[in-house]
Structure 1
């Protein structure tokens, strides 16, 4: 039986968590057989028996600057479906990594007086929400997806608001310097965790484990980690909390933006 191969250009899909948002947006379509992504081209290839415009409408709710590039018919035996069991295991592993580092970074942020670490920990939690929703949606429509997405989105917004209030408090009471050595140690661990997560998630798209460095290091999560490391070095050199406050503010803003993306699924 002929199936349709649709390629979508998704210009703002540049990290695995955004890929999972796209997968969740399509999870209610029963005749979507396979989705693979190319982060270099920022494209998603979808094998399906649905209306391509309906798929586009679902993706477009995420506000990721998407458009349909091409449609073509293919034979059923010209593709192999992904192993959903393996995908579930990988998502579970990545979810555990992100939740663990949420706890580590938030506690370290308090211990080392670093807003940047706390913000990055919250970003890890935000990714955890996405991976949890994706895990619950594997293989079948998730009936409570909209309710859980709304809960996750509003909780994320609430935590981001607390983060911004923490930045304001530390700006007013700025007579302190974060522990740059502790910050650097935890920031490097967080970078390693995100790299491992990225490589795990690559397996869900049948990609090679030795991916291009350009693909890995242009991921939003990795860029945030590198920014945190740079801010840590600046804190040490300048003996000032300002670099830490700046990176914290930026990451909290990214987390808040991510909350709106999750909420778009709940509509």
Structure 2
């Protein structure tokens, strides 16, 4: 009997893709460190949310490296776990935005803007490296969606910095934190749906 996993879905490339994942992991970890410090000093919910996103992505790339040469079913199960994690991240960001809405102060737009530009450059570089792998299995797609969502989030943080500067209010910052949460929840739904479809294929269930 033919194996549907082997013939209907591409296997993850190893050597070139591994190099890309290693580079993406380090870029995301460094940017997490930068944004978590900047977000604390700037008192920005949007930067703090983006910092958590960078940390989550670094973990995602690390896990992807561990299962890169495993079966499609193993990669699909990992993608499913990452999708659930992305959803939890969205919930955490929503809660943090609520806390800032109740007790937060007006963030520093200059710091937000500078850090958001640096983060955008970093995420565009990662997205460009991963673009060719966006149509692979659910694990590869989850990695691509992370990088795409990050670039969109950085653009949103830039808009928030402009809004805070123009209005002298923290509401643009909070609204962008909510947008980042929405991106995480949307990406989580796509990844979980894709992973579940893969794990339900008869050939995939036969392999582990």
Q: TM-score, normalised by structure 1?
A: 0.57
Q: Give the superposed CA RMSD.
A: 3.1
Q: Distance in 2 between matches of 1:125 and 1:82?
A: 23
Equivalent runs, 1:83-94 vs 2, <5 Å = 84-94=14-24
Instruction: Determine which of 46, 61, 66 is the counterpart of 1:116.
Output: 46
- Residue number in structure 1 paired with 2:5: 29
Structure with larger Rg: 1
Q: What are structure 1's unaligned runs of at least 5 residues? A: 1-27, 31-49, 60-80, 206-218
CA contact (8 A) 1:130 1:262 kept: no
CA contact (8 A) 1:116 1:247 kept: yes
CA contact (8 A) 2:38 2:47 kept: yes
Correspondence 1:237 to 2:166:
yes
Kindly indicate which of the two structures has a greater share of residues assigned to strand. 1
Equivalent runs, 1:101-180 vs 2, <5 Å = 101-141=31-71, 144-145=74-75, 147-174=77-104, 176-180=105-109
Q: Distance in 1 between matches of 2:18 and 2:36?
A: 27
- Residue number in structure 2 paired with 1:251: 180
Instruction: Determine which of 171, 190, 193 is the counterpart of 2:119.
Output: 190
Q: Provide runs of 4+ in structure 1 moved above 4 Å.
A: 202-205
> Which secondary structure does the structure 1 equivalent of 2:5 belong to?
coil
> Which secondary structure does the structure 1 equivalent of 2:127 belong to?
helix
Aligned residues: 180
Q: Could you tell me how far 1:229 is from its partner in structure 2? A: 0.8
Q: Could you tell me how far 1:94 is from its partner in structure 2? A: 0.8
Q: Distance in 2 between matches of 1:181 and 1:230?
A: 12
Change (3 A) 1:164 1:98: same
Q: TM-score, normalised by structure 2?
A: 0.70
CA contact (8 A) 1:84 1:139 kept: yes
Change (3 A) 1:203 1:150: closer
CA contact (8 A) 2:25 2:61 kept: yes
Q: Deviations over 1:128-167 (max 9, x none)?
A: 4543454344344166445544443343333322221111
Change (3 A) 1:127 1:82: closer
Q: Which has the higher contact order (CA 8 A, sep 6+)?
A: 2
Kindly indicate which of the two structures has a greater share of residues assigned to helix. 2
Q: Could you tell me how far 1:239 is from its partner in structure 2? A: 0.9
Q: Distance in 2 between matches of 1:125 and 1:262?
A: 18
Q: Could you tell me how far 1:98 is from its partner in structure 2? A: 1.6
